[in-house]
Copies of this chain bind each other. A is one copy, B any other.
Amino acid sequence: MPHKGSYEVTSKTTLKRYAKRAEYDRAVVHAILDEAFVCHIGFVADGQPYVIPTGYARDGEVLYLHGSVGSRMLRALESGGDICVTVTLLDGLVLARSQFNTDMNYRCVVVLGKARSVRDPEEKAAALLKLTEHIIPGRTQHARAANDRELSQTAVLAIDLNEVSAKVSDKNTNDDDEDYALPIWAGRVPLKLVPGTPVPDPRLDPAYADDIPEYILPYRRPTEKA
């Protein structure tokens, strides 16, 4: 499985509008998937589409979806129906001189395909490690690994990264020519998901409650390490 290059463009992943913002490059897609925390899973149950947020992690060209999955979703996903997994990072607000051109900057990945249930204990354990490391790199060296009972209680789903597209909007204001003369402040307001000070669990031994491990404070996302 090649990790470089681009995803194949299909009729379903061809952007009909703002096509110039479409990205199929694996590196662009991977970076977005690795930075965000939450995906939105779209599936159909009894004809009704649902969109449910959940945790996930990427392992190469596989996306693992975490297991706090309602039974309605599990049933729908295991029945082999098509699903859509969307990951969005909001990067900022674009304040144009006209309300019409007011916009947002964002990066977004859309994955189409079918989910499979991860039942093999080894793959499931590896996926759970990835899911924990995705939330906070380094954590699996400290937190207790899942035991057999926990593994059997956890639902992990996988979707292959085959039919994938990204959309990246990173722009300044784009006003109509005649609007540039208007005496209105215009520009971008960057937005960023920022971690606050970690809050020790009330039942933590007071002896080391404030001794927050280095890998947690300062908290960093993988893509910010470089």
Contacts and interface: CB of A to CB of B under 8 A. Distances in A.
Given A92-B196, A98-B144, 12 more contacts: A17-B68, A42-B84, A49-B84, A99-B140, A99-B145, A142-B185, A172-B201, A186-B204, A187-B212, A188-B199, A188-B201, A190-B197
A43 interface: yes
A20 interface: no
A96 B203 CA distance: 11
23 contacts: A16-B72, A17-B69, A17-B71, A37-B90, A37-B191, A38-B106, A41-B51, A48-B112, A49-B82, A95-B139, A98-B144, A98-B145, A98-B150, A142-B184, A142-B185, A144-B184, A173-B203, A187-B198, A190-B197, A190-B198, A192-B196, A193-B194, A194-B194
Decide if the interface of chain A is mainly helix, strand, loop or mixed. mixed
Interface of A: 12, 15-18, 37-38, 40-44, 47-53, 55, 68-72, 81-86, 88, 90, 92-93, 95-100, 102-104, 106, 108, 110, 112, 128-129, 131-132, 135-136, 139-140, 142-147, 150, 153-154, 172-173, 175, 179-180, 182-205, 208-209, 211-213, 216, 219
A152 to B, nearest CB: 11
